[in-house]
Chains A and B, each alone.
Chain A
Amino acid sequence: MNWIPNIFRRRRVFEDLSEELRLHIEERVEELMRNGLSRQEAERQARIAFGNVTVLEERSREVWQWPTLESIRADVRLALRQLRRSPGFTIAAVLTLALAIGANAVVFGVLNALILRPLDVPNAQSLFTIERGGYKEQSTSYPDYLDLRDRNRSFEALTAYILVPVGLDTGKNPSQAWGYEVAGNYFKAMDVQPFLGRFFNVADEHGPNSAPYLVLSWAYWHSHFQDDRAVVGRVVLLNQHPFTILGVAPPDFNGTLLFFFPDFWAPMVQQEQIQGIDVLSDRGKRDIFMVLGHLKPGVTQAQAIADLNSVGSYLEKSYPKDDAWMTYSLARPALAGDLLGPGVQGFMTGMMLLAGLILLAACANLGSLFSARAADRSREVALRLALGSTRRRILRALLTEAVLISLSGGLVGLLGSVAILRRLSVWHPIPQYPMHVPVYPDAKVYLVALLLALASGFLFGAVPVRQILRTHPWEVVKAGSAGIIAGHTARRITFRDVLLVVQIAICAVLVTSSLVALRGLERSVHSSFGFDPRNVMLADTDVSMSGYSGDGVPAVQRRMIDALGTIAGVKSAGFISQAPLGGGLSTEDVFTDQTTDLSPSKAAADAGVFSISPEYFRAAGTAFLTGNNFSWQSTKSAPPVAVVNSLFARRIFGSVSNAIGRYYKRENGTRVQVVGVVEDGKYYQLTEAPRPVMFLPLLQRPTNLTTLVVRSDRDPQQLATEMRSKLATLDSSLPFTIQTWADGLDIALFPSRVATVALGVLGAMGAMLSITGIFGMAAYSVSRRLRELGIRIALGAQHKEVLQAALGRAVRLLAIGSAAGLGLGILATRVLAFIVYQATPRDPLVLAAVVVAMALLGLVATWIPAQRALSVDPLILLREE
Chain B
Amino acid sequence: MTDSPSRDLFPGALEMMILESLRRQPAHGYALVQHIQQRSKHLLQVEEGSLYPALQRLLKARLVKAEWGLSATNRRVRTYQITKAGLRHLEQQISSFERMFEGIALVLSPGRSPAS
Contacts and interface: CB of A to CB of B under 8 A. Distances in A.
A23 B48 contact: no
Contacts of B30: 23-24, 27-28
B28, B48, B60, B77, most chain A CB atoms within 10 A: B48
Given A16-B66, A56-B48, A23 B76 contact: yes
A498 interface: no
B56 A20 contact: no
Contact of A27 (B3, B53, B56, B75): B75
Nearest to B66: A16
A17 B75 CA distance: 16
A631 interface: no
A841 to B, nearest CB: 56
A24 B48 contact: yes
A64 B56 contact: yes
A63 B76 contact: no
Contact of A63 (B29, B49, B60, B78): B60
B75 A21 contact: no
B78 A20 contact: yes
Contact of A51 (B48, B53, B59): B48
A52 B48 CA distance: 10
A51 B49 contact: yes
B87 to A, nearest CB: 20
A438 B76 CA distance: 74
A65 to B, nearest CB: 10
Interface string A15-36: 0110111011001100000000
B52 interface: yes
Interface of A: 2, 6, 13, 16-17, 19-21, 23-24, 27-28, 49-52, 55-56, 59-64
Nearest to A62: B53
A63 B55 CA distance: 10
Given A6-B60, A24-B29, A59-B52, 9 more contacts: A16-B68, A21-B48, A23-B75, A23-B76, A24-B48, A28-B30, A51-B48, A51-B49, A59-B49
Contact of B56 (A23, A51, A52, A63): A63
17 contacts: A16-B66, A16-B68, A16-B78, A17-B56, A19-B78, A20-B78, A21-B52, A23-B30, A23-B75, A23-B78, A24-B29, A24-B30, A52-B49, A55-B49, A56-B48, A60-B52, A64-B56
Contacts of B60: 2, 6, 63-64
A50 B30 CA distance: 11
Interface in B14-69: 28-30, 47-49, 52-53, 55-57, 59-60, 66, 68
Nearest to B76: A23
Nearest to A50: B48
Closest 3 CB pairs of A and B: A63-B56, A60-B56, A60-B52
Nearest to B77: A23
A56 B52 contact: yes
A56 B66 contact: no
Nearest to A58: B53
A13 B59 CA distance: 10
A51 B47 contact: yes
Contacts of B115: none
B62 to A, nearest CB: 8
Contacts of B77: 23
Nearest to B31: A27
B72 interface: no
B1, B49, B75, B77, most chain A CB atoms within 10 A: B49
B47 to A, nearest CB: 7
Contact of B53 (A19, A23, A24, A60): A60
Contacts of B66: 16
A829 to B, nearest CB: 54
Contacts of A17: 52, 56
Contacts of A60: 52-53, 55-56
